[in-house]
Structure 1
């Protein structure tokens, strides 16, 4: 069996989920058999999930911090091609997000007989994660849902003259708690 058949388990908690602005990427990948939807899952550990500039969701690799929660999302099996396209969207080479290990369980599972799945998720980059958590008042979401997504601004509608990381730092350093 060659590497072309290798699949990576990816936990999507934000705009890549069904019904959200970047899910078209997952739909494209599913049409080419580069992604398969496996179900609704939640993280085993509690992680901060916050919205940053332009309503962009960030899972922060600060387990069990403050008012963090087990986060609800979707699990996908993704090919190497799919993983490459997801990494590009998530800006892993530009320090937007980091793809890190995360343990998840099926949403419906009871805690006595739960199969833990080792996957990866896109966490807000460590260079700003702690400051973004402070900016949120150390209060996290359980789920990126329709209410949280109301403030989301598509990339094409954001200023083109500033980098995403610079936008994050402007958001962190702004005196207001506005997400735009």
Structure 2
């Protein structure tokens, strides 16, 4: 299957990767020709990859901290990109889609970062420790969206998580 026309390259590092809960969306888009798997990828810069509430992964736009993060690269059509933006809550302040440098890519690539309004607090809440890859072990305890409290918005869940800063979230190695 070829790369969709007018494709945007997206670096995925968490639940959109193969074997994780939101990968079904990418599979559906690949089946319809709106996305194509490009390959494994790793960030050029060190960036923090942390887990927030419900073991949801967040890439923080704090270059020089954390590790070079491993993930997957996908080429997605404009329609697929809109669906990914919706999943990632771009219009609701959950994540921001911004450029990212990938070690083998000489073209523009984007990724979904934790929104800047809480990224620094998320880094502090993690005890300033990060993952280099979101793995099954790191995802242990992940709670799917449908199983989370429905009376709270995701931003409310993030705020509650960050307000409980007495204990840093454990890093599972």
TM range, smaller chain: over 0.9
Match of 1:90 in 2: 88
Equivalent pair of 1:105/1:117 in contact (CA under 8 Å): no
Task: Indicate if the aligned counterparts of 1:35 and 1:79 stay in contact, CA closer than 8 A.
Answer: yes
Task: Specify the alignment match of 1:137 in structure 2.
Answer: 127
Measured on the aligned residues, the alpha-carbon RMSD in Å equals 1.4
In the alignment, the residues of structure 2 paired with residue 29 and residue 103 of structure 1 have an alpha-carbon distance, to the nearest angstrom, of: 24
Give the unaligned 5+ runs of structure 1: 107-114
Aligned to 1:61: 61
What is aligned with 2:31?
A: 31
> Pairwise mapping of residues 1-180 of structure 1 onto structure 2 (< 5 A)?
5-65=5-65, 68-106=66-104, 115-174=105-164, 175-178=166-169
Normalising by structure 2, we get a TM-score of 0.92
User: What whole-Å deviation, never above 9, does each CA across 1:89-109 have from its counterpart, x for those lacking one?
Assistant: 000000000000001124xxx
Structure 1 residue runs of 4 or more that deviate by more than 6 Å after TM superposition: none
Measure, in 2, the Cα distance between the counterparts of 1:7 and 1:135.
35
Larger deviation: 136-145 or 167-176? 167-176
CA offset digits 1:117-165 (Å, max 9, x no partner): 4200000000000000000011110000110111210000000001101
- Conserved 8 A contact 1:91-1:97: yes
How far apart, in 2, do the equivalents of 1:171 and 1:5 lie? 40
